[in-house]
Amino acid sequence: MLLDIFQNIFIYGTILSICAFPFLIFVSRNKNKYKPNHIYKMIGFIAILLLIIPFLHINIPKFADNEKANIQGQSYIEQVDIENLTNTGQILKFDSTNLLKKNIDIKSNTIYEIIKYIPLIWLFIASLLLIYNLISYMIYIKSLKIKYYDNVSKEIVDKLNNDLKAKRNIITGISEKIDNPISIGIIRKRIIFPKKDYTVKEYEFMIKHEIYHIKNKDIEFKFILLILNCLYWFNPITYYITKLVDEIMELNVDSKVLNNESINIRSEYGKILLKQIEENRNPKIQTISCFANSRNSIKERFYNIMQTNKKSKSTVIISILITLLTLAFIVILIFPNINFSLAVSNIIQDDTQNVSGEENYIVPILDEYKVSFRYSNEYKGVDLSAEEGTNIIASHSGIIVEKGVTERLGKYLIIESDDGIQMLYSSCSELYVNKGDNIESGVVIGKVGKTGMSTGNRLHIEMKLNNQSINPEKYINF
């Protein structure tokens, strides 16, 4: 599960972010030409896609039937009528003449030993970043020492909340620790003001600005971006997305506040904004909305504030985004079909010599499969997810010492090789061989199913030597 999430983030998430990057650059340089609301929604869509990808079960079929033969070093199985196997006792043989130096134990390679810990390192850093940011947020909120009571700002908030149809129960407060109005909270919405004297007009502009942030669910989206940055902490493009969203978010709210307003009102709003930016000493917290958030974006905000002409239609940027997302999908579709056999052979190099004289084990499923569970101290086996009815072949030659059906294992059998290793094949939908049969490596012995306690179509395998569990990945290159 963890490995699947990491692979989706590292491979497919990276592909999507790289393909979306030209769009982000384009809107960053042309943000004042188009409606910020449209840009905001499109960037939000990209962020949501990046958050969904880790938890998708991406199982894309190979285009070429011989791809597995190239990667695994395995050749095709002779065609035999499967339905007649149980009646005629006909054996389906596996042609091992073209095996890539027989069994390659890539799992013993030093590089693999390092790589297998990368998902745990990723999870540790992502968790650490998330915990750090949440704790920092809570400490900062507590440090504000907010005082809640009714005042002029509360009356204006209630009036504007009703006029703007925000439909939120907004609480106002005062803190001596801030220099600029901020809005905080996902469930308990609060607008906090510095302990300063403002005119009614200044209150109205600043409160209207913060209410629009609350109405647009900008604070919730900031938390989503925080999670995105933690999951993709290694990807600089996600940090760029966060930075761009902060800028577009303010442009969007400024546009809503000044919608249909005269140039004089816009000028007055700009003066208030400039004053607040000059006085602002608030620390930058990702999950907090601030009226005057950054000096860096002041030029774009003033240009947007004073712009009264109608902005260009968003057809161009929508077309760019659709084109780039289509490209990302095509790359994701093609990626599993890239032949990495050369790269693998370079990594393993002469490791094939280590297995000379040992029984050769092959992957028990030749068709498309996915390793859904790997061997661990808690889980003494390996699960291969595949389509129901996919052929299961004997991973090694030997004799069938046990065959049966149990509530836990479902339909299963055990093959014992000459070196004494017993291999369990379980959760099968069908079994074509019987106890006592001598089986050659590559023989079709059954079909993938979900019998027993299995919750999905899979082949569950275990290996034992002298009644002690051993890791199948030491013998089989999945």
Residue 426: give its domain's CATH number. Answer: 2.70.70.10
* Contact assessment for residue 426 and residue 392, using Cβ atoms and an 8 Å cutoff: no
Question: What is the per-residue pLDDT for 336?
Answer: 54
Pair (98, 158) in one structural domain: no
- Residues 453 and 407 sit within 8 Å (Cβ to Cβ): yes
> Is residue 180 domain-shared with residue 276, that is, in the same domain?
yes
Within this chain, do residues 151 and 280 fall inside the same structural domain, yes or no? yes
Tokens representing residue 413 in the block: 């059998």
At residue 157, the pLDDT reads 78
253 and 366, same domain (yes or no): no
- Cα(439)–Cα(452) distance, rounded to whole angstroms? 24
CA proximity to 225, closest of 248, 241, 249: 241
Co-location of 107 and 141 in the same domain: no
Give the residue from 248, 276, 297 where a domain finishes: 297
**pLDDT for 290:** 82
User: Do 133 and 103 sit in the same domain of this protein?
Assistant: no
Residues 178 and 143 in one domain: yes
Mean pLDDT by 10 residues, the chain (478 residues): 80 90 90 86 92 71 39 35 40 39 42 72 94 93 83 73 77 86 87 85 87 90 94 94 91 88 89 82 80 74 79 79 87 59 38 42 90 88 92 94 93 93 95 93 93 88 92 89
What's the pLDDT score for residue 381? 92
For 387, residues 6+ apart whose C-beta sits below 8 A from its C-beta are: 367, 368, 448, 457
The residue from 244, 267, 297 where one domain ends is 297
Q: Please name the residues in contact with 158: beta carbons below 8 A apart, sequence gap of 6 or more.
A: none
CB 146 within 8 A of CB 175: yes
User: What pLDDT does residue 394 have?
Assistant: 94
What is the pLDDT at residue 185?
Answer: 87
Side-by-side strand order, sheet with 289-290: 171-175, 190-194, 182-184, 289-290
Verify that 247 and 367 share a domain, yes or no.
Answer: no
Contact 72, 54 (CB under 8 A): no
- Domains in the chain, number: 2
Element (H or E) spanning 462, and its range?
Answer: strand 458-465
Domain span including residue 78 = 67-116+358-474
Residues 111 and 133 in one domain: no
Residue 390 has φ and ψ, to the nearest 5°, of: -65, 140
Using an 8 Å Cβ cutoff, are 399 and 418 in contact?
no
Question: What is the rounded distance in angstroms from the CA atom of residue 199 to the CA atom of residue 197?
Answer: 7
The reply to whether 51 falls in a domain is no
Q: Are residues 139 and 90 in the same domain?
A: no
